[in-house]
Chains A and B, each alone.
Chain A
């Protein structure tokens, strides 16, 4: 598969199979992704990894903390909660990515953007090996108990969780708007 095909073939994978994911492979792919991002300093990002059944369960508890603790959550039947939990605990590996805010907005934005670029490469590198991922930024998980649980530091920005695993079937792609329709040529200042 060439690069263009790879970029177009990658899909977000929301349903993976039970094959285990090796931690060594995740580290190797993160290193490869970082290598494709020379502007990204080691100090600009950090990964917290959950790759065992115990840590996955722990993570899912943090993710659902807001729901279970809220008044509304108390009304959710235990069975439904179990289904929600199982959906995530059945995913073999979770890569939580954080970027460093630095001392000003510009540094924070530069780090964030570079880290996202790295994560896109990581998704593509994973796809080459048959690994599927879904980038999760659901607002419902983003609350104090979650951030405390994953150990985010004061100067860090939450970029997302990549839930990853091998999969049996990739979903069909959803069409993109042609770039021509989002393209303008600046003709210079008219004033």
Chain B
């Protein structure tokens, strides 16, 4: 199986089954996802698991989902390092998304305005030097017979210029 074969499935809108997602499965996938490239091997990430049944403020700030994974990054003072770390964390999330999809787990990768709000960050006991890089909504993918994706069939537009 080639990686590019996953594209069609990833282009379909994600609907979740209600059943919970096993934490063991998430950890199994995360342990592979951490093989993301990251500058200086800083591994600038950590994970907060939030159950969809007991999601506190996420209940009103996010779409419903069986589970949430807050991807928290260390926010270095140096803004250049911070960019590198945000990039590394995004690579990790991409790995996780692809791996999850292969196991019929859907991941909606979200970033919303509230994540910039320190008050909300404190609700999840983030340190002052941490920020939320993404909130992943995770669940088993419900099979919808009716969804055929137009987008997957399209050639993606590329803005490719020569130096």
Contacts and interface: CB of A to CB of B under 8 A. Distances in A.
Interface of A: 2-4, 6-8, 10, 12, 27, 30-32, 34-39, 42-43, 45-51, 55, 58-59, 94, 96, 105-106, 109-110, 112-114, 116-121, 123-125, 128, 135, 137, 139, 142, 150-151, 159-160, 173-174, 176-180, 182-189
Contact of A180 (B27, B151, B163): B27
Contacts of A182: 43, 45-47
Contacts of A110: 111
Nearest to B68: A186
A30, A39, A55, A183 — most chain B CB neighbours (10 Å): A183
A116 B87 contact: yes
Contact of B3 (A114, A121, A139, A174): A121
B102 interface: yes
B87 A178 contact: no
Contacts of A50: 162-163
A49 B161 contact: yes
A3, A42, A106 — most chain B CB neighbours (10 Å): A3
B102 to A, nearest CB: 5
Contacts of A12: 37
Given A6-B3, A176-B43, A34 B94 contact: no
Contact of B34 (A114, A123, A177, A185): A177
Contacts of B124: 186
Contacts of B48: 183-186
B27 A125 contact: no
A3 B99 contact: yes
B51 to A, nearest CB: 8
B93 interface: yes
A142 B80 contact: yes
Contact of B152 (A35, A125, A151, A185): A35
Given A139-B80, A179-B27, A188-B54, 7 more contacts: A27-B160, A34-B156, A42-B158, A137-B84, A183-B49, A184-B49, A186-B56
B37 A120 contact: yes
A55 B95 CA distance: 32
Contacts of A150: 163
A151 to B, nearest CB: 8
B21 interface: no
Contacts of B141: none
Contact of B33 (A7, A42, A47): A7
Given A46-B159, A135-B37, A159 B87 contact: yes
Contact of A2 (B1, B109, B155): B1
Contact of A35 (B35, B43, B156): B156
A117 B99 contact: no
A176 to B, nearest CB: 4
